[in-house]
Amino acid sequence: MSITLDSAPSTPRIAPHTPPSALRHDWTRDDIATLLALPFAELIFRAASLHRTYFNPNTVQISTLLSIKTGGCPEDCGYCPQSAHFDAGVPASKLMDLEPVLQAARAARDAGASRFCMGAAWRSPKDHDLDRVAAMVEGVKALGMETCVTLGMLRPDQATRLKSAGLDYYNHNLDTSPEFYGDIITTRTYQDRLDTLAAVRDAGISVCCGGIIGMGEDLDDRAGLLATLASLNPHPESVPINALVRVAGTKLDHAAPLDPLDFVRMIAAARITMPASMVRLSAGRESLSDEAQALCFLAGANSIFYGDTLLTTANPAIARDNALFDKLGITKQA
Ligand code: SAM
Ligand code: DTB
Ligand code: SF4
């Protein structure tokens, strides 16, 4: 007997035809805390069922990151090796020139990435730097790739400038719950982040917004992060879930290690609360086993960062990811 596999691409299956009312924006923190504490099999079954309602579960979108301006950042984010408040051995450098950025984008495209994400260690971009980033966005678009940038806080006019350059996604994370946030970052507020997200949304750019777990937050904080993300209307199109990469010299160097099954649970709860969004299994994959990553894909992750480095820290080698995809029968979204 021959078995035919559904080979539909990983674009939302029913999302374009789903009335917005089918997606909930009223998830309470208690609802989500209950989800996170479900018996594991129950949680994964619910998440996997929703995943295949909205997406082809055998397809994963891949993005490659490049740090276009590294280190020396004035913000004090406790997890970040690029903050000037810590000595994590990441020297500050200037904004890259256009040509090497395009060269890296071409290499990423040739390795199979469909989106190129450029990150800058800024509190917010200066207007003359934004012009240079806009040229990078135009150049990467011309290579036939989707574009994403993460540059810190944006004013509405800056978001509009990036939109006119052709920017597809802006990444700006809420990182954690409003209550725990002050333990991690003091130099910008939670509301500053929500304001940037509103500017990005209003400019017509797709929103990439998620957070980090493993920073010492409790289950209620994880629920609070997801409740805030899911209250955004529309939901962020892309939801990166990062596991803290503990970097020597940062404030969170000695945070307790995260149980990989808790990472899987967070992915599942993100999938259930924002079922039509891409859920990205982001930082932290380097220390996850193949089995733990397989559970994340089963729980609804359908996007990863691909390439040997994230911004400054290690990511699995491309050959390891390709071998994992082969083992799991996963294809890359074109
Ligand atoms: N400076 C910009 C900003 O903060 O908006 C953009 C770059 S910043 C490095 C992008 C995101 O990377 C952060 O919001 C955080 O969620 C994530 N990140 C940074 N360092 C991390 C770490 N050590 N482990 C996990 N995620 C991290
Ligand atoms: C996101 O949520 N994770 C990526 C991307 N957005 C920009 C960054 C992860 C950075 C991990 C630490 C580093 O490599 O410096
Ligand atoms: Fe700067 Fe972004 Fe790192 Fe915070 S996360 S210190 S804003 S580069």
Is the pLDDT at 323 greater than 80, yes or no? yes
Nearby residues of 53 by Cβ (< 8 Å), 6 or more positions away: 13, 14, 275
**pLDDT value, residue 334:** 73
Q: How far is CA 271 from CA 44, 122, 175, 176, 281, in A?
A: 10, 30, 17, 17, 11
Residue where the block lists tokens 């071409």: 106
Give me the mean pLDDT over the 266-275 stretch.
98
Rg (CA), the chain: 19
Give me the mean pLDDT over the 48-65 stretch.
97
What letter represents residue 175's amino acid? D
CB 70 less than 6 A from any atom of ligand 1? no
CA of 190 to the centre of ligand 3 (A): 14
> pLDDT tens digits for 25-38?
999 999 999 999 99
Is the pLDDT at 5 greater than 70, yes or no? no
**pLDDT value, residue 8:** 42
**pLDDT value, residue 22:** 72
Instruction: Choose the residue to mutate in 310, 312, 313, 315 for probing ligand 2, maximizing ligand atoms within 8 Å of C-beta.
Output: 310
Q: Which ligand is nearest to the CA of 73?
A: 3
- Structural domains of the chain in order of their starting residue, each with its CATH number: 3-332 (3.20.20.70)
Instruction: Choose the residue to mutate in 77, 86, 133, 315 for probing ligand 1, maximizing ligand atoms within 8 Å of C-beta.
Output: 77
> pLDDT tens digits for 211-258?
999 999 999 999 999 999 999 999 999 999 999 999 999 999 999 999
CB 283 less than 6 A from any atom of ligand 1? yes
CB 205 less than 6 A from any atom of ligand 2? no
CB 215 less than 6 A from any atom of ligand 1? no
- 3-class SS at 303? strand
CB 210 less than 6 A from any atom of ligand 2? yes
CB 221 less than 6 A from any atom of ligand 1? no
Is the pLDDT at 9 greater than 50, yes or no? no
Q: Which atom of ligand 1 is nearest to the CA of 73?
A: 1
Residues belonging to the active site: 73, 77, 80, 117, 148, 208, 280
**pLDDT value, residue 123:** 98
CA of 159 to the centre of ligand 2 (A): 21
DSSP state of 232: S
- Residue 301 C-alpha from the chain's centroid: 11
Q: Which ligand is nearest to the CA of 251?
A: 1
Both tokens assigned to 79: 């997890």
